[in-house]
Amino acid sequence: MVNYVKAVILGLVQGLTEFLPVSSSGHLVLAERLLGIQLPGVTFEVFLHVGTLLSVVWVFRQRLFAIIKSFLALFTRDQLARLAGREDRRFGLLLIAASVPTALIAFGLGDVVERAFGSTLFVGIALTITGGLLWLADSLPGGKKGISETTTLDALLIGVFQGIAIFPGISRSGATISGALFRQMDKKKAAEFSFLLSIPAIVGGGLVEALDIGAGLAEMDWLFYLLGIVAAAGAGIFAIRFFIKLLIKNKLRPFAIYCWAAGVLAVITSL
C-alpha cells in the first residue's frame, strides 16, 4: 500500500511541475539532493511521461484532431499547392519547425545537460533565471499574432527556448510561453502552442528513456505504474487549465517569486 501511495504522490508532483512554470526536472534534482527522495527508476519515469502526454492530448484534443485532419486532407484533395493555407495545417507545420531546434539542442548538448543534473548549484541558478523569465512574461501585454500571422522564424525561436529548457531548473512552459510573448503572439495562442509543442518533446524524451528499459515488463507491478499514470494525467490536466487562466490574467509573478526562493535555497545549500 505504501508503494501505491508513493506512485500517486510522484504522479501528482510530475503532472503539476511538468506544466506549471516551475521546472519538473529542477524539482526532481532538488528532491533527490536535498530531500533524499529517489524515483523508482527510469521505467517509472517513462510511464509518468505517458501520463503527462495524455493530459496534453486530452485538453487540446479538438485542436489536435483538427491538425491531423488537415494533414490527412492532403491525401484526399489536391491541396499541396496550399500546404500552409489552412490554419490547423499551418499550426502543425509550425509545431514541426519549432521541434527542430529543440531536438538539435537536446542531442548536441546531451552530455552537458547530464552533468547539469548532478549540480544543485546549476539548478539553483537556472531556477532564478526561470523566475526572471516568468516576471518578464507577466509584464508583457501579449501581442495580437494568431497562428496565421506567426512565422517560421517565430516557431524556430520558440523551439530554441524549449531547447534551453532541457536544462534542469529552466521551466519548459515558462520558457516557451515567454519566447512566444517576446514574438508578440496572443497569450491564448502562445499557451496553446507551448503545450502542444510539449507533445513531441515528451514523446522524444520518453523514447530515449525507454531505450534504457530492459526486458522483464511482464514481472512489473502494473497497478503501481497505472496509478502513477492516472495521477500524472489528472494533475497535468488541472495544471494546464490553471496555468492558462493565470497567464491570461497576468498572475505569473507568484511562480516567479517561488522560483527565486527555490533557486536561492538551492544555491545556498550547494555552497
Q: pLDDT tens digits for 179-231?
A: 999 899 998 899 999 999 999 888 877 776 666 555 555 566 778 888 889 99
Nearest alpha-carbon partner for 55 in 199, 192, 237? 237
**Per-residue confidence (pLDDT) for residue 240, from 0 to 100:** 93
- Reduced 3-state DSSP string for 95-129: HHHHHHHHHHHHHHCHHHHHHHCCCHHHHHHHHHH
Q: State residue 5's pLDDT score.
A: 81
Which cell goes with 81? 499547392
Amino acid 256: pLDDT:
93
For residue 132, what is the enclosing H or E element? helix 120-139
pTM, 2 dp: 0.84
Other residues' Cβ atoms within 10 Å of the Cβ of residue 211: 9
Handedness of CA 197, 201, 206, 211 (dihedral sign): positive
CB-based contact 67:192 (threshold 8 Å): no
Task: Pick the closest to residue 155 from 233, 93, 248 (CA basis).
Answer: 93
pLDDT-flagged residues of the chain (< 70): 1-2, 32-43, 75-85, 208-220
Q: Which residue has the cell 532538488?
A: 30
pLDDT value at residue 22: 86
Q: Cell match 527556448: residue?
A: 161
